[in-house]
Amino acid sequence: MSVSYMASPQGRRLAYRYTPPRSGRTYVWLSGFKSDMSGTKVTVLEAWAQQQGHGFLAFDYSGHGVSDGAFEDGTISAWREDALAAIE
């Protein structure tokens, strides 16, 4: 799955991968502290969701993975905003 980019309302450039559902639901992966969307758990769950026909969204918070920004500049509030922007 290829990586795409979006700008959050706060101007942060966020990396994400999205597969639309063929039927059913869409799962959203929220990475843990200092984790990103290239980890083993997320890739296994993404493959499972695709096999089941479900949608899947994974993204990197600002300062994580291939999203822009420095980790040290991040806050819980900023990462929450990133999640809401990615889901929207």
CA proximity to 20, closest of 4, 39, 36: 4
Identify residue 63 by its one-letter amino acid code.
G
CA proximity to 62, closest of 88, 39, 40, 84: 84
Q: What is the pTM of this model?
A: 0.90
Binned at pLDDT 50, 70 and 90, residue 24 comes out as confident
For residues 8-21, give the mean pLDDT: 94
CA distances in angstroms from 24 to 2, 54, 88, listed in the order given: 22, 6, 18
Total domain count, the chain: 1
Query: Which tens digit of pLDDT belongs to each residue from 48-70?
Result: 999 999 999 999 999 999 999 99
* CATH code (residue 60): 3.40.50.1820
CA proximity to 56, closest of 14, 86, 13, 12: 86
Give the range of the structural domain holding residue 76, as residue numbers without chain letter: 4-87
